[in-house]
Amino acid sequence: MLKLLFAVGFTAWTAFGSAVAQIAPARFDRQVVVSVFPRGAADIEFMDFISSDRWTCGPGGPNSEADYRISNDQVPELQRRGIPFRVAIPDVQALLDREQAAMKHAARDAGVFGSFPTYAQTGAFIDSLVANHPTLATRLNLGNSLEGRQIFGVRVTGTAPGVGDSGRKPAIVLQSLQHAREWAGLTSNLYTVNWLLENYQSDTTVRRLLDEYEIYVVPIVNPDGYEITWTWYRYWRKNARVQTPPGYVVGVDLNRNWSVGYGLNSGSSASYNSETYRGPSAFSEPETRVMRDFILSLPKLAAFVDIHTYAGKVLRPWAYQWQTPPGYFGLMRVGQAMVDSVQSGTGIRYFVGGPEILYLASGVAPDWAYGTTGAVSFTIEMQSEYGFSPGPETIVQSGEECRLAILAMLRSLCRADFNLDNVVDDADFVLFLNAYSALLSNGGDLSGDGKTDDADFSLFAPAYDSLTCP
């Protein structure tokens, strides 16, 4: 409710744009975040009633902990009702003050891993990556947000040429910041691509992977929402969609706006007041359309990762239904390798799974990527001790976790295992032959040029002979 009041208050300003920065940012006095363990639907309903802002990424479900931002005054009511909970963040405004102070304290030249970067600083950082690694990195302009901000990215690939006719390679897409307030997702993504570039010359595994794949990093999918988090509402989640009526910024949850599973199974909301408002139709928002069109323009998508905060989880498809997808075992093998790598590298334990370890969420990007292209697709939820304000001192730590997970994913991909059952066998051979005889289909495309031909057979044969990936 509070958020809505702020939105109402800022109506005139946001509609006319330029005055926004002069307005005092929203405050979160007497607000707490509680971790609730709902005993059933009634508890979830009650929490949704008293809180307009869940701090976990999706709608709650029984048997899973969910964080809610509520007023301090509402805590006794939880106790009275016997709802199991603990106070995770006792003072939201203090959390925000602490973050702001730490960022002010960080050296002016701390760079993007010393303090959180603005939209402009993120763009400048991408430019610096390209300037420092001109043979490996290229800046891309994918399209514009609702308010006309550029959604930019960087393409990173090694100097070895691609195998197929086109010279292209199988593509990996790493996107972050669909949800504007999840700043650590942005910095973790930037850290990962920077780490890959910095280690290309010295690390043989990195060199092999960058020579094998084209990696596309899109750090800020939701630039308008990100701007809101820097100007007048730090914990803004959605984009900057204006609803008419009522005529003010309500925002659409971009990660409920993709077409696969859109609007199904209560994994999103039809109400614009909701933090999980899915918009009037799938791909109603320019930001999701830009990403969709970009991904579909790639001849062959091999993997897709959508980076969020702050659950400490690696999530496989499907998010929108309990039923497991075809390829479940292959997805779980790769996901397990990701969380194992984070644990052995940092000691921090992430969990891998589907909606059973978070919630049903419908219309999310990885479900669309997996359902549409068949590429290995995950959500990574970076962990955080301090909700959406982890503090700049955690940027490097989160970045390490992210790059360990991404590197493990890249190493674990087995593209010849078309049906993702963890063995390259006759079933995959049949799928390959079907694609090969159709020639137009990219179903057996291993080279990344978008079609299945002799080059792919030469890549498939050794994997098939050894029943595993080369």
Residues that bind Zn ion (CB under 5 A): 57, 179, 308
Contact 145, 287 (CB under 8 A): yes
Distance of alpha carbon 215 from alpha carbon 157, whole angstroms: 6
143 three-state secondary structure? strand
CA angle at 442 for the pair 440 and 443, rounded to the nearest 5°: 120
Residue partners of 191: CB distance under 8 A and separation at least 6 = 113, 395, 396, 398, 399, 400, 402, 403
User: If we measure between CA atoms, which residue out of 139, 160, 154, 140 comes closest to residue 206?
Assistant: 160
Q: Which is nearer to Zn ion, 277 or 418 (CB)?
A: 277
Nearest-approach distance from CB 268 to Zn ion, in angstroms: 13
Burial pattern 233-254, b for ≥16 Cβ within 10 A else e, equals: bbbbbbbbbebeeeebbbbbbb
Q: Angle, to 10 degrees, between the axis of helix 426-438 and the axis of helix 454-466?
A: 170
Q: Which is nearer to Zn ion, 174 or 414 (CB)?
A: 174
Nearest-approach distance from CB 60 to Zn ion, in angstroms: 15
The stretches of 200-262 forming alpha helices (DSSP H) are 204-212, 223-231
Nearest-approach distance from CB 65 to Zn ion, in angstroms: 16
Nearest-approach distance from CB 84 to Zn ion, in angstroms: 25
Nearest-approach distance from CB 174 to Zn ion, in angstroms: 15
As beta bridge partners, residue 176 has: 307
Place of tokens 């999706």: 58
Estimate to the nearest angstrom the gap between the alpha carbon of 47 and the chain centroid: 25
Distance of alpha carbon 88 from alpha carbon 91, whole angstroms: 9
Nearest-approach distance from CB 55 to Zn ion, in angstroms: 10
Q: Which is nearer to Zn ion, 319 or 455 (CB)?
A: 319
Q: Which is nearer to Zn ion, 13 or 68 (CB)?
A: 68
As beta bridge partners, residue 33 has: 69, 89
Q: To the nearest 5 percent, what fractions of the chain are helix, strand and coil?
A: 40, 15, 40
Pairing of strands 171-176, 301-310: parallel
- The neighbour count for residue 21, using CB atoms within 10 Å, is 12
Q: Which is nearer to Zn ion, 57 or 332 (CB)?
A: 57
Nearest-approach distance from CB 255 to Zn ion, in angstroms: 6
Torsion sign across C-alpha atoms 363, 368, 370, 375: negative
End-to-end CA distance of the chain: 55
Q: Which is nearer to Zn ion, 179 or 241 (CB)?
A: 179
Beta strand segments in 231-295, E: 242-243, 248-249
Contact 52, 275 (CB under 8 A): yes
Q: Which is nearer to Zn ion, 179 or 415 (CB)?
A: 179
Nearest-approach distance from CB 171 to Zn ion, in angstroms: 23
Distance of alpha carbon 299 from alpha carbon 398, whole angstroms: 31
Q: Which is nearer to Zn ion, 69 or 308 (CB)?
A: 308
Distance of alpha carbon 317 from alpha carbon 365, whole angstroms: 10
- Tokens at 349, concatenated: 């334990």
Nearest-approach distance from CB 379 to Zn ion, in angstroms: 8
Nearest-approach distance from CB 412 to Zn ion, in angstroms: 24
Q: Which is nearer to Zn ion, 163 or 405 (CB)?
A: 405
Nearest-approach distance from CB 306 to Zn ion, in angstroms: 8
Q: Which is nearer to Zn ion, 214 or 306 (CB)?
A: 306
Q: Which is nearer to Zn ion, 308 or 451 (CB)?
A: 308
Place of tokens 């993997």: 303
